[in-house]
């Protein structure tokens, strides 16, 4: 039996296989609100054969967006915009739906990637970004405003409010974004966090705010629903956040009941030197899993079915998450099941598509009709 197509249970959420659609920013929202693009994008990938689809980084306050086009969940309008999309997914797909809650911190007020991705100046419609310290993402940018106690409380409360809204929407699981140089990662990394108070300096202090956010979200999200965290295992810069600190952070999260660690890397500094290659981040997921026993999700240049199968079968990670590979092949899960002898759920409108050599792909051998 294919390891990739065995089930896994996270609290009360049982996933039929170990494949996740990774959260992918679409930079296409209207003042934070999802629209017809998100309807198409989410419904398409909810039919990919994966067990769980994770909605893109969903920002908890307007100044927490990366770009003006980023998705948000901070008021009734942004909440309402997601309702018809989720209703359609539930009608046609058996995939679980997770949501990644995020705050961009100093990486906020940026142009969309296809518009250059550079910082938007205030006079051009940008906003003042916030961060642990007045340290810009890169040289020449306007420094962010350091967060004071009131700002920390506001953001913590915003995560709580977004988690409650996500639960009202029927979201099955949450993932906190503590990676890729965004706010929670900024607190963790000594490259971005130069504070001298209880939120900076030592590892315990740098972990304090991300752990407070996790505790606050976990306290309000139903106990039977899982909450995971995405981390950057290394900054790929000397003197930055590294694997040993990631493991220490994961151990603290384990004590607080985290349900998975989604292990990525990089994003906090333009000086990073990443050693790219197929599955280049898998060893980080394996190290976290072996050191903590927490279920891990492996990401990063995972593109082939046999590659994903080996990662799970060998115990390097418990799940795999694909992003670009899913955009290129929105039926990746179907094709992986065909290659590995697994089965996927598909709507009956598509049952007749299975090749004659894959009559068990959908768990169906016949298709009635005239």
- DSSP conformation class of 136: -
Residue 365 in any domain: the answer is no
Domain count of the chain? 1
Residue 3 in any domain: the answer is no
Q: How confident is the model at residue 217 (pLDDT cuts 50, 70, 90)?
A: very high
Residue 363 in any domain: the answer is no
Torsion sign over Cα 347, 351, 357, 363: positive
Q: Yes or no: say if 260 and 231 are a contact pair by the CB < 8 Å rule.
A: no
β-sheet bridge partners, residue 279:
none
Mean pLDDT score, 333-358? 89
Q: Yes or no: say if 180 and 224 are a contact pair by the CB < 8 Å rule.
A: no
Task: Give me the phi and psi of 160, to 5 degrees please.
Answer: -65, -45
Residue of 182, 199, 280, 328 with catalytic role: 182
Whole-number percent of the chain with pLDDT over 70:
98
| Angle value at C-alpha 14, between 89 and 263, nearest 5 degrees | 90
pLDDT digits (tens, 9 = 90+) for 223-251: 999 999 999 999 999 999 999 999 999 99
Mean pLDDT score, 294-305? 97
Residue 367 in this model has a pLDDT that exceeds 60: no
SS3 19: strand
User: What pLDDT, on the 0 to 100 scale, is given for residue 364?
Assistant: 58
Residue 368 in this model has a pLDDT that exceeds 80: no
Q: How confident is the model at residue 353 (pLDDT cuts 50, 70, 90)?
A: confident
Residue 368 in any domain: the answer is no
The torsion region of residue 279 among left (phi > 0), alpha (psi -120 to 50) and beta comes to left
Supply the pTM of this predicted model. 0.95
Task: Give me the phi and psi of 164, to 5 degrees please.
Answer: -70, -40
- DSSP conformation class of 127: -
**Max alpha carbon distance in the chain (Å)?**
74
Nearest Cα residue to 211 out of 156, 291, 290, 129: 156
pLDDT digits (tens, 9 = 90+) for 116-174: 999 999 999 999 999 999 999 999 999 999 999 999 999 999 999 999 999 999 999 99
Q: What is the CATH number of the domain that holds 241?
A: 3.20.20.70
Cβ atoms within 10 Å, residue 151: 13
Residue 325 in this model has a pLDDT that exceeds 70: yes
Q: How confident is the model at residue 356 (pLDDT cuts 50, 70, 90)?
A: confident
User: What pLDDT, on the 0 to 100 scale, is given for residue 354?
Assistant: 80
Residue 369 in this model has a pLDDT that exceeds 60: no
Domain assignment of residue 248, given as a range: 8-358
Residue 166 in any domain: the answer is yes
Please report where in the chains the tokens 């990394």 appear, as a residue. Answer: 189
Torsion sign over Cα 241, 243, 245, 247: positive
SS3 annotation, 252-319: HHHHCCCCEEEEECCCCCCCCCCCCCCCCCHHHHHHHHHHHCCCEEECCCCCCHHHHHHHHHCCCCCE
Average pLDDT over all residues of the chain: 96
Residue 327 in any domain: the answer is yes
Exposed, middle or buried: residue 143 (CB in 10 Å: 0-12, 13-18, 19+)? middle
Q: Yes or no: say if 315 and 287 are a contact pair by the CB < 8 Å rule.
A: no
Residue 35 in any domain: the answer is yes
pLDDT digits (tens, 9 = 90+) for 247-272: 999 999 999 999 999 999 999 999 99
Point out the least confidently predicted range of 106-110, 175-179, 275-279, 309-313: 275-279
Residue 142 in any domain: the answer is yes
Nearest Cα residue to 325 out of 307, 350, 352, 346: 307
Torsion sign over Cα 343, 348, 350, 354: positive
- Residue 27 annotated among the catalytic residues of the structure: no
User: What pLDDT, on the 0 to 100 scale, is given for residue 284?
Assistant: 98
Name the packing angle between helices 76-92 and 36-45 (round to 10°): 30
């Amino acid at each position: 039996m294919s390891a990739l197509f065995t089930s896994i249970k996270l609290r009360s959420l049982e996933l039929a296989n170990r494949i996740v659609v990774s959260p992918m920013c679409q930079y296409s929202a209207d003042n934070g609100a999802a629209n017809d693009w998100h309807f198409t994008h989410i419904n398409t990938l909810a039919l990919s054969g994966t067990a769980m689809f994770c909605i893109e980084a969903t920002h908890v306050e307007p100044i927490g967006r990366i770009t003006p086009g980023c998705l948000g969940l901070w008021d009734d309008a942004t909440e309402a915009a997601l309702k018809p999309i989720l209703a359609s997914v539930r009608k046609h797909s058996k995939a679980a739906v997770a949501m990644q809650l995020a705050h961009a911190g100093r990486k906020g007020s940026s142009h969309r990637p296809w518009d250059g991705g550079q910082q938007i100046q205030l006079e051009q419609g940008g906003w003042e970004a916030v961060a642990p310290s007045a340290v810009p993402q890169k040289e020449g940018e306007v420094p962010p405003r350091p967060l004071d106690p009131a700002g920390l409380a506001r953001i913590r409360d915003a995560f709580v409010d977004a988690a409650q809204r996500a639960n009202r929407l029927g979201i099955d699981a949450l993932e906190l974004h503590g990676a890729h140089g965004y706010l929670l990662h900024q607190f963790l990394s000594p490259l971005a966090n130069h504070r001298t108070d209880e939120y900076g300096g030592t590892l315990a202090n740098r972990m304090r705010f991300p752990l407070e956010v996790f505790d606050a979200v976990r306290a309000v999200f139903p106990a039977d629903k899982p909450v995971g965290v995405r981390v950057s295992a290394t900054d790929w810069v000397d003197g930055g956040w590294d694997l040993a600190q990631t493991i220490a952070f994961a151990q603290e999260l384990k004590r607080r009941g985290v349900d998975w660690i989604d292990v990525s890397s990089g994003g906090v500094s333009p000086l990073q030197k990443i050693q790219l290659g197929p599955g280049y981040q898998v060893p980080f997921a394996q190290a976290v899993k072996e050191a903590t026993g927490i279920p891990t999700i492996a990401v990063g240049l995972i593109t082939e079915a046999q590659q994903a199968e080996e990662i799970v079968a060998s115990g390097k990670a418990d799940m795999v998450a694909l992003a670009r590979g899913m955009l290129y092949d929105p039926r990746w899960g179907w094709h992986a099941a065909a290659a590995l002898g697994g089965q996927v759920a598909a709507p009956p409108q598509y049952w007749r598509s299975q090749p004659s050599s894959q009559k068990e792909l959908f768990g169906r051998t016949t298709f009635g009709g005239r």
